[in-house]
């Protein structure tokens, strides 16, 4: 079954659609428009914009009209978190609306009724829907029944697609994201099994949410997304990085090309002895090596088919000179990162960081870099760096500590889901976070 999102078809055996999200304030129409144009030129086939409230609806309309006047036809998705009224208001002006209907209302029957109303408006306007059921932001109704588990995510999504089915609404896509690759893969597998049991086949949007930045963000995304794509699960993907959204697209395009069999790995040999793999690579760059290794071994490590990995061979540096993977230390570095991404061995703190969006009111990318630099010596701790207090605390799921931007150069610090310090000036916040963590003995 395929969902139509403007001119783009998701699912139904079509290609893997690559998408991303603006990180500009949607109310800044010129900046958002310019970013949409850049993202479209860089290969984004669908672009999402945050719509925090009613005031942003007309901005979305203007952005879309200006894009079409410029000949940019890339479909736009409105990202809604809680407000069904905002979803209803923006649906006529975009090609897709992303919602988690479980958060529409505390009363579950009221949430269902609002979701049905949204389906009606979407049908009238030819607008598709993404049902985004993220780990950490399930409604109380589901967590009270199943806990905050992959099974709960799948059950929640099944309820909403069941309503789409009752309403004969076909242009629906489903996502079940988590920053934890194990939870995310289990949730999609569970949901796919449930759909098969019920003879349903809604298209799937696959991604690892809050993957962070740099090498670790890319490796974590590849481990989760490639595991599912290799099983034929996933019709559209987003690689979420706490970087410029343009930086997400080469990784996403690599994943799409690899699982559409347009490119192959640079691995030239492999030997497996018991549960240890030794792989040899001849890679054109370190970036290619990183992506290849993550996709070649992510699933095997995640599913505990192998326990140990050794990397040999060469990659070419920026000047084209060959670099030994073992002697440069890059082999053991990649293995450590891969083990951590697949949640097999933790050699440094685990960082969760959202990509940021129009709701971000502070220097999220700089904050993440500072938190990473100042906490790298800690052990057995999960630290989340999130862009906003509205969704950040819910979305950081199983983090031990949260560093959440409030705006106005202030930060809230969370222990688990509980705020322990509020309104901390940005320039003191990492010190306060470290004092709290070290006070708990995580050194």
Specify whether the CB–CB gap between 296 and 274 falls below 8 A.
no
Nearer to ligand SF4, 32 or 227 (CB): 32
Shortest reach from residue 159's CB to ligand SF4, in Å: 23
Residue 87 touches ligand SF4, criterion: CB under 6 A = no
Site residues for ligand SF4, window 201-260 (CB under 6 A)? none
Residue 86 CB, nearest distance to ligand SF4 (Å)?
13
Q: Is 137 in the site for ligand SF4 (CB under 6 A)?
A: no
d(CA 159, CA 349): 36
**How would you classify the pairing of strands 76-79 and 46-50?**
parallel
| DSSP bridge partners of 77 | 48, 96
CA dist 107 and 237 (Å) reads: 32
Alpha-carbon gap, residue 41 to 246, rounded angstroms: 10
Nearer to ligand SF4, 300 or 363 (CB): 363
Per CB under 6 A, the list member of 395, 397, 429, 433 interacting with ligand SF4 is: 395
Nearer to ligand SF4, 313 or 355 (CB): 355
Interatomic CA distance for residues 285 and 274, integer angstroms:
30
Which stretches of 88-211 are assigned E, i.e. beta strand? 96-99, 128-132, 172-175, 205-206
Q: Which of residues 375-394 bind ligand SF4 (CB under 6 A)?
A: 386-388, 391-392
Q: Which is nearer to ligand SF4, 4 or 98 (CB)?
A: 98
CB of 238 to ligand SF4, least distance (A): 12
**Closer to ligand SF4 by Cβ: residue 22 or 158:** 22
Nearer to ligand SF4, 141 or 362 (CB): 362
Residue 153 or 357 with smaller CB distance to ligand SF4: 357
Nearer to ligand SF4, 82 or 188 (CB): 82
For residue 145, report the phi and psi dihedrals to the nearest 5 degrees.
Answer: -85, -40
Q: Minimum Å distance from CB 138 to ligand SF4?
A: 15
Which among 412, 398, 413 is positioned nearest to 352, based on CA atoms? Answer: 398
> Whole-number minimum distance, CB 353 to ligand SF4, in Å?
9
Cβ atoms of residues 210 and 17 within 8 Å: no
Smallest CA-to-CA distance from 23 within 364, 252, 397, 256 is with 364
Cβ nearer to ligand SF4, comparing 344 with 410: 410
Least gap, CB of 372 to ligand SF4 (angstroms): 17
Burial of 245 (0-12, 13-18, 19+ CB in 10 A): buried
State the minimum distance, in angstroms, from the CB of residue 109 to ligand SF4.
27
Taking the complex as a whole, the smallest distance from the CB of residue 388 to ligand SF4 amounts, in Å, to 3
Residues 6+ apart with CB under 8 A from 352: 179, 210, 212, 382, 383, 384, 385, 386, 396, 397, 399
Residues 6+ apart with CB under 8 A from 301: 223, 309, 338, 339, 342, 344
Kindly determine how many residues on this chain lie close enough to bind ligand SF4 according to the rule CB under 6 A. 12
CB of 356 to ligand SF4, least distance (A): 5
Q: Shortest distance, CB of residue 239 to ligand SF4, whole angstroms?
A: 14
Give the per-residue contact string, 332-371, with ligand SF4 (x = CB under 6 A; - = no): ----------------------xxxx-xx-----------
> CA 82, CA 278: separation in Å to the nearest integer?
48
DSSP label at residue 397? T
Q: Report the residue number whose CB is nearest to ligand SF4.
A: 387
Nearest partner of 21 among 76, 72, 67, judged by Cα:
76
Interface residue list for ligand SF4 (CB under 6 A)? 354-357, 359-360, 386-388, 391-392, 395
């Amino acid at each position: 079954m395929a969902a139509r999102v403007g001119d783009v078809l998701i699912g139904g055996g079509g290609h893997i659609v690559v998408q991303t999200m603006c990180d500009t304030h949607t109310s800044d129409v010129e900046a958002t428009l310019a970013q949409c144009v850049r993202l479209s030129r860089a290969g984004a086939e669908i672009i999402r914009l945050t719509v925090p409230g009613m005031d942003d609806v007309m901005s979305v309309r203007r952005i879309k009209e200006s894009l079409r006047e410029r000949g940019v036809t890339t479909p736009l998705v409105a990202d809604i978190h809680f407000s069904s009224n905002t979803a209803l208001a923006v649906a006529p002006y975009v090609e897709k609306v992303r919602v988690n209907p479980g958060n529409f209302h505390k009363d579950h029957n009221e949430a269902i009724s609002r979701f049905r109303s949204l389906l009606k408006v979407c049908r009238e306007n030819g607008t598709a829907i993404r049902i985004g059921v993220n780990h950490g932001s399930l409604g109380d109704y589901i967590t009270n029944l199943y806990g905050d588990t992959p099974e709960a995510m799948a059950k929640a999504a099944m309820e909403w697609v069941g309503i789409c089915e009752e309403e004969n609404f076909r242009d629906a896509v489903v996502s079940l994201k988590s920053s934890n690759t194990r939870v995310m893969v289990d949730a999609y597998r569970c949901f796919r099994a449930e759909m098969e049991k019920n003879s349903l086949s809604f298209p799937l949007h696959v991604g690892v949410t809050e993957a962070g930045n740099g090498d670790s963000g890319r490796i974590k995304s590849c481990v989760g997304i490639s595991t599912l794509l290799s099983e034929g699960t996933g019709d559209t993907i987003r690689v979420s990085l706490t970087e410029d959204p343009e930086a997400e697209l080469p990784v996403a395009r690599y994943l799409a090309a690899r699982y559409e069999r347009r490119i192959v790995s640079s691995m030239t040999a492999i030997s497996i002895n018991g549960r240890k793999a030794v792989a040899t690579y001849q890679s054109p760059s370190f970036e290619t090596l990183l992506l290849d290794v993550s996709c070649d071994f992510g699933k095997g490590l995640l599913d505990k088919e192998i326990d140990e990995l050794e990397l040999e061979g060469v990659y070419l540096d920026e000047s084209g000179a060959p670099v030994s993977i073992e002697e440069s230390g890059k082999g053991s570095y990649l293995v450590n990162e891969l083990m951590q991404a697949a949640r097999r061995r933790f050699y440094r703190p685990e960082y969760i960081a959202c990509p940021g969006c129009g709701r971000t009111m502070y220097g999220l990318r700089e904050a993440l870099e500072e938190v990473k630099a100042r906490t790298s010596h800690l052990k057995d701790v999960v630290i989340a760096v999130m862009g906003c207090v509205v969704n950040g605390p819910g979305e950081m799921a199983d983090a031990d500590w949260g560093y959440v931007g409030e705006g106005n150069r202030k930060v809230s610090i969370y222990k688990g889901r509980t705020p322990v310090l509020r309104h901390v000036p940005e320039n003191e916040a990492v010190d306060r976070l470290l004092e709290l963590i070290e006070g708990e003995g995580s050194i």
